[in-house]
Structure formats: C-alpha cells, structure tokens
A = this chain, B = another copy of it.
C-alpha cells in the first residue's frame, strides 16, 4: 500500500467513492473537484494524503491535514486532521493508522504545537492506537442552506 499526496488524476481512481464511505459526498463533477484540488494544492496549509493499492491503481484510503495559524502559543500553529477514511474492504490492515501517522508527522514538520481531530466516540480507540488522547468535546451548529 502506497501513502502519497492526492493527485488530480485520483478523480478517476475512486477518491470520491472512498470519501462517500465517510459521509455525504453530494455532487462533485470533475471540474469542481479539480478547482478544489488546485486550491488546496496551492495552499501551504493543506495536505491531502491517499492510500493507493498499486496493483489495482485504486485509492483505498484518504486523510486531510490543514494547518491553522494562531496568535496564541507564540503565534503557533495547530494541525487539524480531517476526513480520515479507509475502504470498508481494506480495514484492519493498518492503512488508517499509516495515514494518520503520516499526517501527524506532517503537522509536526509544519511546526504545529499540537494536532487535533474530532471523531465519533466509537472511533476513540482507533485514535488512541494512533497515539492521541481524548480531551475536549465538539459542539456543532448546522446551517439550513
């Protein structure tokens, strides 16, 4: 399994199908994907990683880091890990842990003083295996569109 940066051609390798296993994907035509891809690729604050099964040339996992710039902690940075997902047929083989480990390392290299993520309570154990500890609670407000 190869862990690498998201590429524009991953639109045709099942990247969005993997994300749809995480939550609502909605309509993402290729031009909309490409526009967002280039926004994120052009920012120093986003890293999108995928796991690719080289034999099949298919994306089987994904995870995103973005780096928030703060005033606190001496104008420090915090890494936010987002949208971690592994194909249901590939779980239990450490792919998710490798993705998270790669993003935590990327956050450390970016100079973040910490990395955080929000997850369902049932996934706490997985993130503990990734070396993280539970701290706060997440509050949410959904907007009607």
How many A residues face the partner with a CB closer than 8 A?
62
| Chain A 91-145 residues near chain B, CB threshold 8 A | 104, 107-108, 112-121, 124, 127-128, 130-143, 145
Decide if A4 is an interface residue (CB 8 Å cutoff): no
Q: Are A116 and B135 in contact (CB under 8 A)?
A: no
This chain: copies in complex:
2
A135-B140 contact, Cβ under 8 Å, with A28-B71, A71-B36, A72-B25 = yes
Residue in B36, B120, B130 whose CB lies within 8 Å of A69: B36
**Using a CB–CB distance below 8 Å, which chain A residues touch chain B?**
15-16, 19, 22-28, 32-33, 35-36, 39-40, 46, 64, 66, 68-76, 80, 82-83, 104, 107-108, 112-121, 124, 127-128, 130-143, 145
